[in-house]
Amino acid sequence: MLAKDILIDQARAVRERAYAPYSHFQVGACIESKNGNVYVGCNVENASYGLTVCAEANAIAAMVAGGEHEIVQMVVVIEGPGVSSCCGACRQRLNEFTDPEALIHFCDLVGNVKTLQFQDLFPYPFGPQDLSKRVITS
């Protein structure tokens, strides 16, 4: 597993490219995949506010476009001071690709870091295993 500082540097860099003219809340995310590759994303807002896409969602999309589906750790950076968390929709998105033991690091620009296992960030998730409980009748 890569040192988290490598991911923090990448997340800070991509955060600078966030398009956030409405909230002025810039977010950068950096994923390390199971193969040791790094994928980044920033939030991209829209004048039609509901179309905003979170940094985590864009990093996940980059990973999938890179042909990978397994996250071993992720960093999320905001300006701070003080770390943020991850919205509920992005927890569900992460659940698709993240083991319960994967590490999620929430960081700011002045060195604060809060690290959680994914299972503590998103307990009792809905996931692919639930869909296997379907009864298909036709």
Q: Which residues bind ligand THU (CB under 6 A)?
A: 20, 23, 25, 27, 43, 45, 52, 54-56, 86-87, 90
Question: Closer CB to ligand THU, residue 38 or residue 77?
Answer: 77
- Check 56, 68, 70, 101 and give the catalytic one: 56
Tokens at 115, concatenated: 């690290």
C-alpha dihedral, 39 to 98 to 100 to 72, nearest 10°: -30
CB of 30 to ligand THU, least distance (A): 13
CB of 78 to ligand THU, least distance (A): 8
Catalytic residue flag (residue 56):
yes
Q: Could you tell me if 96 and 119 are in contact, meaning their C-beta atoms sit under 8 angstroms apart? A: no
Q: How far is CA 18 from CA 43, 56, 77, 78, in A?
A: 5, 12, 11, 11
Q: Which of 59, 62, 48, 54 is nearest to 85 (CA)?
A: 54
Q: Which is nearer to ligand THU, 31 or 54 (CB)?
A: 54
- For residue 80, the minimal CB distance to ligand THU (Å) is 13
Calpha distance 99→3 (Å, rounded): 19
Return the active site residues.
56
